[in-house]
Structure 1
Amino acid sequence: MSALTAFTGARIFDGDLWHQGAALLVEAGRIAAIVADRDIPAGAVRAPLEGARIVPGFVDLQVNGGGGVLMNEQPDVDGIRTICAAHARFGTTALLPTLITDTPEVTARTIAAGIAAKAANVPGFLGLHLEGPHLSIARKGAHDPKLIRPMQADDLQRIVEARGKLDALLTTVAPESVSNEQIAALAGAGVAVSLGHSDSGYATVAAAVAAGASMMTHLFNAMSPLGHREPGMVGGALDLGHLNAGLIADGFHVDPVSIGVALRAKKGPGRIFLVTDAMSTIGTDMTGFTLNGREIFRKDGRLTLADGTLAGADIDMIACVRFMHDQAGLELEEALRMASLYPAEAIGMTGRKGRLTHGHDADFVVLDDGLAVRATFIGGVQVYRV
């Protein structure tokens, strides 16, 4: 969309404040301004959205699949395109397709697919998240223990080289399987290093953060808990101010009471942000799928292995926002920031994503009063509408 377009008739949340009696101006894929209705330029094309709410597009840093596709099972551009399109229906305008622990060959194919997706300008594609294989078997979750292994020199080189060809690259590692020198090398190359699937204690976490780790993967899940003598991974996530932490808000992974405690305890400037950890089921009526040759069962909003271990999540981002607002008691504005601004900050995209202010990408979601998605725009182009 190159012509100046004025989206009118909706309440607009810019990431900080609500605007009424105003229009969102979009030009050449970017936000031009939010102006009072009386100040809409004469030549602007008007796009009425009467009675709706416009909010910043959601940014999801952990998306294993969607639309029937799992990144591990279809590591190619078409798979990435399908995943992005599936999540756009639920307000996500930028995401990191996430590879769960797999073989070096699948990892290489996923990186190649990500580079090709960037070249093809796949709508919604932000970069990649490599979750493993350098994790702790003690906190493996649904990751295949046969594929978990320490980071080697060629693994490090592969990730560093990939970062130079992608806008964003996130990797989840456990301090048990990587050295602080490797973390420093990754961070120095611009890779976002997240700690997760680890049984490490607080001191180990603090050392990894000092080396360059900046995030924690799905807070509370697959990590050492907060104890009265050993603060563990959870204690590190909450106490170390420069750590950002992802949170799965589906009511199964973390209880709303624990969510509230974490939000009140988190030291800044780091934030807790929402992730879906979504699997291939999003946007489908699938009853199950396979991961690394193991069957995953879908029932009553949960995805589990045969032994009951949670295996990713069966939730989309607007549902996470509603959960945080309705079940966790968060003000809507803060729930929206947890889905947009805070993940954008965590991945270093604050100049492009998470706000509807001048110069930012025109990624936004149109919601009704019940917080259902009516339309999704990426770069000012409508990619979904009810």
Structure 2
Amino acid sequence: MAETLLTGARVFTGSHMVAADILLRADRVAALLPPGSPLPEGAALRRLSDGMLLAPGFIDTQVNGGGGILFNDQATVQAALSIARAHRRFGTTALLPTFITDTVEGMRAAGRAAAVASAMPGSGVVGVHLEGPFLAPERRGVHSLAHVRPIDAADLDFLTGLPARFGADARVLLSLAPDRVEPAVVARLVAAGLIVAGAHSAATYAQTMAAVEAGLSGFTHLFNAMPPLANREPGIAGAALAARDTVCGIIADGVHVHPAMLRLALAAKGPGGLMLVTDAMPPTGTAAESFTLHGQMIHRRDGRLVTDDGTLAGADIDMAQAVRNAVALMGVGLEEALRMASLYPARFLRLDDRLGRIRAGYQADLVLLDADLQVAGTWVAGQWWDATANEGEAGT
């Protein structure tokens, strides 16, 4: 079984910085060894610069597209794999391809495709995120009004059966509006194995907390597609901040959420309560200046993705930039920013027994960062991917 010893870089394990060498065996972390440990017999040695940092690979729970591909346009196995591949150069080693509000047939195809992709070793696909269509029409944002609808019996049959299509290492995340889906339905979805998050909603504080009591455990792109906080009616955003056992995804691009609100959310939720997401679209990893979504032209302008009328349509950010922004805009230390990109999403997905840390027995998903937190490359299930190249080379 192929082994590689990584030596020379600092190591962030997911909990703290250590001086260590990392022994990889096939797709797993075999051991953390004292620096300068003898090379195990038969193992390859890879020397890394002492200015580099090895950290757990980033985990992104909201990825609409990348590399020129929109999952809604191509809800196929190959599209899911290609999107995951496009995000590796930005440090993302695991993600949920995200299918936003669309046709019933499209939603079902997306679920089936992601299930197949997630079963492929080293794919980087760890489930699927269905964002909609059970949303509040008045808070739909760029989601298609023609496809926003109430949940029905056929939807429930499909959704409650979907987690069984995925293996133990993958998850189904459903974003819905708590004012459009009854708590009893939320409870049924959670009991079936789905992770349920609140999103695109005009729900009151009471409605949202009732959904939390029923098992809703997260919130999608906090503050966006939600009414603003108010003193007499905190609404869904206030409930998201107050609900201690929930995790909020947040887009730290300085556009979707003002830096002051980023810091406010961090203060309210505390460590582990916020995870970084990109809400990435097809331009990620490309030089494209536009793409189409539901027949609308979306423009890439000044760090924004917008429709002709200026409505935000996803985000023009990658996970490495989100980590850098967490440090610069939110004022968190590097270690906490890295947890927000790896350990906390792993916990939210209930995959933190195998992802989100550099620890013996965990999957060998690592990101190699330089002194400026730019990505030099990643290991996905032990396979090296150079950030400047398109091809990975196993065991190096």
Q: Report the TM-score when normalising by structure 2.
A: 0.94
Q: Is the 8 A contact 1:58 1:339 kept in 2?
A: yes
Provide the rounded CA distance (Å) in 2 between the counterparts of 1:76 and 1:121: 17
Q: What are the Cα deviations for residues 228-249 of structure 1, in whole angstroms up to 9, with x where unaligned? A: 1111111111111111100001
Aligned residue for 1:372? 374
The number of aligned residues is 383
Q: Once the two structures are superposed, what CA deviation does each residue of 1:269-291 show, in whole Å capped at 9, x if it has no partner?
A: x6110000000010111111111
Q: What is the aligned partner in structure 1 of residue 317 from structure 2?
A: 315
Deviates more, 1:336-345 or 1:258-267: 258-267
Match of 1:161 in 2: 161
- In structure 2, what is the equivalent of residue 355 of structure 1? 357
Check if 1:108 corresponds to 2:101: no
| CA deviation map 1:21-55 (0-9, x unaligned) | x2011113111221112434532321111221101
Letter aligned with residue 251 of structure 1:
G
Q: Aligned residue for 1:149?
A: 149
Distance (Å, rounded) in 1 between the aligned partners of 2:40 and 2:68: 45
1:16 aligns with 2:19: no
Per-residue Cα deviation, 1:178-231 (whole angstroms, up to 9, x for no partner):
111111111001100000100011111110011110000100101122211111
3-state SS of 1:348 partner:
coil
Distance 2:182 2:386 in 1: 44
The 5 Å alignment of 1:66-105 reads 66-105=66-105
Is the 8 Å Cα contact of residues 297 and 306 (structure 1) preserved in structure 2? yes
Q: Which amino acid aligns with 2:125?
A: F
Deviation digits for residues 73-120 of structure 1, max 9, x if unmatched? 111111111100110010000000000100001111111211221343
Aligned to 1:304: 306
Worse-matched range after superposition: 84-93 or 2-11: 2-11
The answer on 1:263 being equivalent to 2:263 is: no
* Residue 330 (structure 1) aligned with residue 332 (structure 2): yes
Assess if the C-alpha contact under 8 Å between 1:374 and 1:385 holds in 2: yes
Greater alpha carbon shift after TM alignment, 326-335 vs 39-48 = 39-48
Aligned to 2:285: 283
Matches within 5 A, 1:161-180: 161-166=161-166, 167-180=170-183
Letter of the structure 2 residue corresponding to residue 3 of structure 1: A
Partners of 2:122 and 2:377 in 1: how far apart? 18
Gaps of 5+ in 2: 389-396
Distance 1:298 1:107 in 2: 26
Is contact 1:184–1:212 with CA below 8 Å preserved after alignment?
yes
Is 2:210 aligned against 1:207? yes
Name the amino acid aligned to 1:74.
Answer: Q
- In structure 2, what is the Cα distance between the partners aligned to 1:310 and 1:379? 34
1:326 partner letter? A
When normalised by structure 1's length, the TM-score is 0.97
Separation (CA, whole Å) in 1 of partners of 2:129 and 2:36: 44
CA offsets per residue over residues 280-310 of structure 1, 9 Å max, x none?
0101111111111111111111001111110
What is the percentage of aligned positions where both structures have the same residue? Answer: 45
Q: CA deviation at 1:147?
A: 0.8
Unaligned 5+ segments in structure 1 are none
- Aligned-partner Cα distance in 1 for 2:210–2:118: 34
8 Å Cα contact 2:202-2:227 kept in structure 1: yes
Counterpart residue type for residue 289 of structure 1: F
1:243-254 to 2 correspondences below 5 Å: 243-254=246-257
SS at match of 1:342: helix
Q: Which residue number corresponds to residue 31 of structure 2?
A: 33
Higher mean alpha-carbon deviation, 128-137 vs 114-123, is at 114-123
Q: Which moved more, 1:313-322 or 1:2-11?
A: 2-11
| Partner Cα separation in structure 2 for residue 230 and residue 286 of structure 1 | 41
Secondary structure of 2:327's partner? helix
Equivalent residue of 2:165, what SS?
A: coil
- Residues in 1 aligned to 2:113 and 2:119: alpha-carbon distance in whole angstroms: 10
| Distance (whole Å) between structure 1 residues aligned to residue 328 and residue 232 of structure 2 | 34
Structure 2 counterpart of 1:24, one-letter code:
I
Partner of 2:391: none
**DSSP-derived class of the 1:128 partner:** strand
